[in-house]
Copies of this chain bind each other. A is one copy, B any other.
Amino acid sequence: MNYKIVQPTDLAYFKSIAGCSTYTDEEQLQRCAADQTEDLHYMPEVVLQPTDTEGVSAILKYCNEQHIPVTPRGAGTGLSGGALPVRGGVVLDMRRFDKILNVDTRNFQVTTQPGVITQVLQEHVREYKLFYPPDPASKGSCFIGGNVSENSGGPRAVKYGVVKDYVLNLEVVMPNGDVMWTGANVLKNATGYNLTQLVVGSEGTLCVITKIVLRLIPAVTENMLLLVPFRSAAEACAAVNAIFLKGYTPSALEFMERDALEWSMRYVASTGISLPDDITAHLLIEVDGNNKEQLYKDAEAIAEIVQGYDIDEILFADTHEQKEMLWTLRRKVGEAVKSNSIYKEEDTVVPRAELPELLAIIKSIGAEYGFKSVCYGHAGDGNLHVNIVKADMSDDDWNNKLPLGIRKLFTEVVRMGGTISGEHGIGLVQKDYMDIAFSKTQLTLMKQIKEVFDPNGILNPGKIFV
């Protein structure tokens, strides 16, 4: 595609849109040139902050006619480069869509704008004794619109599902400026094609989300958290499936290699957790429900299951402070690794029972291709984040040899029935590997769907597809 460079006449048009702010200053352009993906950096030509659907529609219609690329941006917490304006042009910054429009307590639904911080939304509906479960590690800063665009997960997906399982209906703006709803505010729908689920996870490449209707569930009142130290990482992975096979579904079941926890402990500079030398991995296991007595029984039963493996003493966290401390450690692993070295994060996902094999393969490929990895993630879903740290790898190996190792890893993941992204999306940094997950038939079909929505290719160009 050939795109137009933004001209003064274009800026004049953008400035004429009611309620829309237009920024071309260095600070705003720099802010929108990066997200949380590695150290990548792509400058946009202009940052636009509309305040309503009409504004988004006017921007898209104009850019579609003028062939100006538009990259929608949420909070910029993405890990696959989805918000990077790789072709310059407009960054469509949705931060002023920050209102929760309606909590429907009769029907357990919330209608929100996309620029609301996920945790703010969660806390708001909790005041009505309702629960929106998906909780990505960045929940304190990410936007719900970005979560929908990436089909985000988080620790509680293992029991409650991912974002797609909560999205009922979306108001979206098409590249030509048309505004539409994708579905209806109902729990069951057999009316035409499922446009809603086509937009969820489409990473801002099909249309721009301006309103979101989410289904909620009744709030859960109690939970308990266990930190289980394993002397063998392989056994920790194996224990994950043993818990499910015994009939328990924890509300979180997280795996952390020793380095992940150790680096995070150093990064947050606190805790009080002891980490004996022979511990190589931990499981962080949460159970939740409304009956405290039942929870204690479940926690004890799970403790008994993991005691069948070579473990050290289990930490039962039952105060709010202890739980928060453990969750902070878990959530900060990504930042901790980032602060430690240049790194790449892969987001592998396999059928849950294949985790031990996946971990062994990662380490074996690492040995073959000369990279060190720190693995952690949502083991209960088979979703393992593989943080590959550069450390003392040469630039040449990092740039040329490592991609071959990643290719080999993804090939193995797909062989196991898995795929290359569980919750981060493809965005910019995984698109070169799409041919591993999909055949030409599948890729052609996806590209044709993209063309139906966005014939001029103005929306988030350079993402998902090579």
- Which of B157, B186, B349 contacts A382 (CB under 8 A)? B186
Contact A198 B188 (CB under 8 A): no
Chain A 140-164, CB-CB to B under 8 Å as 1, else 0, gives 0000000000111100011000101
Task: List 16 additional A-B contacts (Cβ < 8 Å) besides A107-B352, A190-B201, A193-B206.
Answer: A104-B353, A151-B189, A151-B194, A157-B187, A184-B418, A185-B418, A186-B381, A187-B349, A187-B352, A188-B349, A189-B201, A191-B437, A192-B438, A194-B197, A195-B445, A198-B198
Residue in B closest to A196 when the chains form the complex, CB atoms:
B197
Q: Which one of A29-37, A42-50, A242-250 is at the interface?
A: A242-250
A351 lies within 8 A of chain B by Cβ: yes
20 CB contacts below 8 A, A to B, read A107-B352, A179-B441, A186-B351, A186-B418, A186-B422, A187-B382, A188-B383, A188-B423, A189-B349, A190-B347, A190-B424, A191-B430, A192-B426, A192-B434, A192-B437, A192-B442, A195-B446, A247-B290, A445-B453, A449-B449
Contact A350 B197 (CB under 8 A): no
A378 lies within 8 A of chain B by Cβ: yes
- Which of B183, B294, B381, B448 contacts A188 (CB under 8 A)? B381
List, in ascending order, chain B residues with CB within 8 A of A185's CB.
351, 417-418
List, in ascending order, chain B residues with CB within 8 A of A420's CB.
191
Copies of the polypeptide in the assembly? 2
Nearest-Cβ distance from residue A200 to partner chain B, whole angstroms: 7
Nearest-Cβ distance from residue A50 to partner chain B, whole angstroms: 20
Nearest-Cβ distance from residue A428 to partner chain B, whole angstroms: 14
Nearest-Cβ distance from residue A310 to partner chain B, whole angstroms: 22
Size category, A interface? 35 or more
Q: Give 9 closest A-B pairs by Cβ, nearest first.
A: A197-B197, A106-B353, A184-B419, A185-B417, A107-B351, A188-B422, A448-B452, A178-B441, A190-B421
Nearest-Cβ distance from residue A302 to partner chain B, whole angstroms: 14
A414 lies within 8 A of chain B by Cβ: yes
A69 lies within 8 A of chain B by Cβ: no
List, in ascending order, chain B residues with CB within 8 A of A354's CB.
107
List, in ascending order, chain B residues with CB within 8 A of A107's CB.
351-354
Residue in B closest to A464 when the chains form the complex, CB atoms:
B192
Cα distance A434–B193 when bound, in Å? 12
Residue in B closest to A455 when the chains form the complex, CB atoms:
B448
A108 lies within 8 A of chain B by Cβ: yes
Contact B350 A186 (CB under 8 A): yes
Nearest-Cβ distance from residue A144 to partner chain B, whole angstroms: 16
Cα distance A157–B215 when bound, in Å? 14
Nearest-Cβ distance from residue A106 to partner chain B, whole angstroms: 4
A109 lies within 8 A of chain B by Cβ: yes
List, in ascending order, chain B residues with CB within 8 A of A165's CB.
165
- Contacting B at CB under 8 A, from A389-445, are 414, 417-426, 430, 434, 437-439, 441-443, 445
